[in-house]
DNA sequence: AACTCGGGGGC
DNA sequence: GCCCCAGAGTT
């Protein structure tokens, strides 16, 4: 079935229907009370792959901590990551910082105002560029996010796999055509996303009260639960982290993660990763220098375990606390540094580590 | 085109 | 369990 044959009929009904629906059903969200491109940008980056309910408190904290892009540009990166802690995808925070500096220093503080200029910024891709361009500057460019894929796939009965490049082109072309019908591009873009989030939900969409029910191919053919089509993701990778937590008095040894891996620029402890579970400290193959520290230290508490589920990894961690006498405090493995409890509170940490610290030392 | 990058919430 | 969330960058 070719959706293009029905497009002319549907599009003139679909767009105004969504705009009307939005006017009545839209949520009152803080970033909807501004056209300041800096605030819009901040909200959009926070909301990438993140639910509104999760991102909202972060948005409030960020605009309080960094009221202007100039403030963000001059922020301490560690403090910024600490504010971002728990949101995940930490490269978003690093790119945010980098782009704030770029705009402040290279662009003389002038925020890019067009879709194409916005796309050049680090951390601003096709979705975010379209969102800022339309919301802040009124440009007639269409956003295509997860909500839009779902709504369009259902209403227009598109059964291409949305993870493929060709499908992305199909949806982008359709969205670009639809927004030509919009009375206001910003309102329409927000409307279709809000509609996907509230009405045309992934599971159990509210078709009975849907304003475009009679225009929806999926509803009319009973395919709401089949569309959109999406290829399954690769299974999650299992990883086993053995953490050695060196203590000296009230100080704990931590290090910044700098490898090309998860949690870049966040802080954790001395880590030995193994390819299978190693619940016994004595089974760990440690470097000689580290092993010597372990031998001379005191295993001060029972080892504890924890699991952290990411979207693409399942991390099973063991935590071994080792008390070091003063005379060995200067012999930490490379990269580790001593931090007092108060200092650790200011360090950005993965949720796995923050939870552990809270439970064991909080 | 495929991989990688977090964490949480809903069912 | 499984899916998805106002995606982007790298390989």
Q: Are A124 and A41 in contact (CB under 8 A)?
A: yes
A313 beta carbon to strand B: under 7 Å:
yes
Distance CA A167, CA A126 (A): 15
Report residue A90 as tokens: 């930490």
CA of A293 to C1' of C8 (A): 42
Beta-carbon count within 10 A of A28 CB: 6
Smallest Cα–C1' distance to nucleotide C7: which residue has it?
A48
Per the structure, the residue whose CA is closest to nucleotide B9 at C1' is A51
Identify, with chain letter, the residue nearest to nucleotide B3 (CA–C1'): A234
A161-to-A127, A150, A164, A176, A226 alpha-carbon distances in Å? 19, 11, 6, 19, 11
pLDDT tens, per residue, chain A with 362 residues: 455 556 677 888 999 999 999 999 999 999 999 999 999 999 999 999 999 999 999 999 999 999 999 999 999 999 999 999 999 999 999 999 999 999 999 999 999 999 999 999 999 999 999 999 999 999 999 999 999 999 999 999 999 999 999 999 999 999 999 999 999 999 999 999 999 999 999 999 999 999 999 999 999 999 999 999 999 888 899 999 999 999 999 999 999 999 999 999 999 999 999 999 988 999 999 999 999 999 999 898 899 999 999 999 999 999 999 999 999 999 999 999 999 999 999 999 999 999 999 999 98
Q: Phi first, then psi: what are they for A327, rounded to 5°? A: -65, -15
B7 closest protein residue (CA to C1'):
A88
Chain B positions within 7 A of any protein Cβ atom are 1-11
Q: In Å, what is the separation between the CA of A176 and the C1' of B2?
A: 27
- Strand B closer than 7 A to residue A203 Cβ: yes
Interface residues 42-71 of A with strand C (CB < 7 Å): 43-44, 47-52
CA angle A353, A357, A360 (to 5 degrees): 135
> Which bases on strand C have an atom closer than 7 Å to a protein beta carbon?
3-9, 11
- Residue spans of the domains in chain A: they are 4-221, 237-361
Q: Is the CB of A351 under 7 A from strand C?
A: no
Q: Residue A187 is inside which H or E element, if any?
A: helix A185-198
Tell me which architecture the domain covering A4-221 has in CATH: Orthogonal Bundle (1.10)
Residue A207, Cα to own-chain centre: how many angstroms? 29
Half-sphere exposure of A258 (CA within 13 A, CB side): 6
Distance from CA(A306) to C1'(C6), angstroms, rounded: 32
| Given A44, A117, A139, A292, the catalytic residue | A44
Report residues 131-170 of A contacting strand B, contact meaning Cβ closer than 7 Å: 164-166
Whether CATH 3.40.50.150 fits A237-361: no
CA of A66 to C1' of B6 (A): 23
- Let me know if A117 is a catalytic residue: no
By C-alpha to C1' distance, C6 is nearest to: A47
- Residues A320 and A245: their CA atoms lie apart, in Å, by 6
| Calpha distance A118→A163 (Å, rounded) | 24
Rounded, the Å distance between the CA of A270 and C1' of B3 is 27
**A204-CA/B11-C1' distance, Å:** 10
Q: For residue range A152-187, list pLDDT tens digits in order.
A: 999 999 999 999 999 999 999 999 999 999 999 999
- Rounded to the nearest 10 degrees, the angle between the axes of helix A52-65 and helix A77-84 is 150
């Amino acid at each position: 079935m070719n959706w293009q044959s029905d497009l002319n009929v549907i599009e003139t009904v679909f767009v105004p229907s969504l705009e009307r629906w939005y006017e009545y059903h839209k949520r009152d969200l803080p970033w909807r009370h501004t056209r300041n491109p800096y605030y819009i940008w901040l909200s959009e980056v926070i909301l990438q792959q993140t639910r509104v309910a999760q991102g909202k408190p972060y948005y409030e904290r960020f605009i309080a901590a960094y009221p202007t892009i100039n403030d963000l540009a001059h922020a301490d990166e560690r403090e910024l990551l600490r504010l971002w802690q728990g949101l995940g995808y930490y490269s978003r925070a690093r790119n945010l910082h980098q782009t704030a500096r770029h705009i402040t220093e290279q662009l003389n503080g002038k925020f890019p105002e067009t879709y194409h200029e916005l796309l050049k910024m680090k951390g601003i891709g096709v979705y975010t560029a379209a969102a800022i361009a339309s919301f802040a500057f009124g440009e007639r460019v269409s956003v295509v996010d997860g909500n839009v894929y779902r709504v369009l796939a259902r209403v227009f009965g598109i059964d291409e796999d949305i993870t493929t490049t060709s499908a992305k082109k199909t949806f982008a072309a359709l969205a670009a055509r639809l927004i030509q019908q919009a009375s206001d591009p910003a309102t329409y873009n927000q409307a279709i996303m809000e509609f996907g989030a509230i009405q045309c939900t992934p599971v159990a969409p509210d078709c009975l009260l849907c304003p475009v029910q009679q225009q929806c191919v999926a509803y009319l053919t009973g395919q709401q639960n089949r569309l959109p089509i999406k290829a399954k993701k690769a299974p999650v990778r299992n990883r086993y982290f053995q953490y050695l937590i060196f203590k000296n008095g009230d100080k704990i040894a931590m290090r910044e993660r700098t490898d090309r891996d998860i949690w870049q620029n966040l802080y954790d402890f001395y880590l030995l990763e193994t390819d299978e579970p190693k619940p016994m400290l004595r089974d760990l193959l440690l470097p000689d220098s580290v092993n010597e520290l372990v031998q001379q230290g005191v295993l001060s508490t029972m080892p504890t375990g924890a699991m952290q589920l990411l979207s693409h990894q399942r991390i099973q961690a063991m935590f071994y606390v080792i008390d070091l006498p003063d005379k060995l405090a200067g012999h930490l493995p490379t990269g580790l540094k001593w931090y007092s409890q108060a200092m650790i509170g200011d360090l950005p940490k993965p949720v796995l580590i923050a939870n552990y610290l809270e439970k064991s030392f909080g």
